[in-house]
Amino acid sequence: MKYCLLSRGDELSDRLTEKFRELAALRGITEDEEEPDIVVTIGGDGTLLQAFHKFLHRLEEVSFVGVHTGHLGFFADWKANELDLLVSNMAEHAENRHALTVRYPVVEIVLKSRGGETVWHALNEFTVKGNNTMLVAELHINDELFEMFRGDGICVAAPMGSTAYNKSLGGAIIHPNLESIQVSEIASINNRVYRTLGSSLVLPRHHHCDIIPRAGQKLLLSRDHLLEEAEDIESIACRVADKKVGFIRYRPFPFWTRVREAFIQNDGS
């Protein structure tokens, strides 16, 4: 069993990264930056998003585990003072494979332009916005025109991202065992001329949606923390990806407990 480490880069996260390295060496666990089995992030949920994109090409082979150096996260659920326990769990797992890897859905995004096709994946969400202008786009569901969207943009979230940007947009929190994507509006214009549904839509695995921006629009596209400008996008297809993201669970931490602790009541973790 080989691991690699990714730090948020602040002083505390870097210090804990070094400590983790020492503890792992004592337990005889090997570090491998290129082909790890387990990717350990030290920082916050944002650090795990970076790790997800760094190891996207090995998503089927790696499992992630996150240590938080700030507040409790959705991806980063180990505390800074639990490094010893985490390393001993990893060492035990290397011996007897006692831990479970849970696999959760991510969003697949296919961007079509004159130049060809690009495929992206997002752990939290994909967004499309007008670049300094309103977004004007058709939203199709399963190849049928659903609505004409005018507003700031559209967000398509994976279940694990439903607690992030999606939640700020009034979307529902979706348990990550539900293989689905959630489409939410970002500040849509609704009046006697323009009309959109105004609610988030949750699509199951076998459904897809296409966003067709008005030709020639300048767009801002995001996948998780990564942002890009684009001008020549003809269509954007979103669906539940075939690949999944794996999190290694050395101990149970139910999703709804996380939601409660993050948003309702923090018991000091």
Residues classed as catalytic: 45
CB of residue 147 to ligand NAP, shortest distance in Å: 23
CA distances from 72 to 47, 66, 75, 101, 265 (A): 13, 10, 9, 20, 12
169 within 8 A of 184, measured Cβ to Cβ: yes
Please identify the residue of the shown chain whose CB is closest to the bound ligand NAP: 46
Rounded to 10 degrees, the C-alpha dihedral 179/243/53/186 comes to -30
List, in sequence order, the alpha helices (H) in the chain: 11-26, 45-54, 83-96, 165-168, 255-263
Decide: is 73 part of the binding site for ligand NAP (CB under 6 A).
Answer: yes
CB-nearer residue toward ligand NAP: 93 or 105: 105
CB of residue 7 to ligand NAP, shortest distance in Å: 13
Decide: is 74 part of the binding site for ligand NAP (CB under 6 A).
Answer: yes
Subset of residues 21 to 50 that bind ligand NAP, contact rule: CB under 6 A:
44-46, 49
CB-nearer residue toward ligand NAP: 207 or 258: 258
Computed from CA positions of residues 232, 235, 241, 242, in that sequence, does the dihedral angle turn out positive or negative? Answer: negative
Decide: is 70 part of the binding site for ligand NAP (CB under 6 A).
Answer: yes
185 half-sphere exposure, CB direction, 13 A CA radius: 20
211 within 8 A of 238, measured Cβ to Cβ: yes
Decide: is 124 part of the binding site for ligand NAP (CB under 6 A).
Answer: yes
CB of residue 173 to ligand NAP, shortest distance in Å: 9
Subset of residues 161 to 220 that bind ligand NAP, contact rule: CB under 6 A:
161, 163-165, 168
CB-nearer residue toward ligand NAP: 3 or 126: 126
Both tokens of 86, joined, read 């985490």
User: How far is C-alpha 23 from the chain's CA centre?
Assistant: 29
Q: Per CB under 6 A, which region of 67-75, 102-110, 188-196, 213-221 contacts ligand NAP?
A: 67-75
Subset of residues 46 to 65 that bind ligand NAP, contact rule: CB under 6 A:
46, 49
Phi, psi (rounded to 5 degrees) for 190: -130, 115
Decide: is 67 part of the binding site for ligand NAP (CB under 6 A).
Answer: no
Contacts to ligand NAP by CB under 6 A: 44-46, 49, 70, 73-74, 124-125, 160-161, 163-165, 168, 224-225
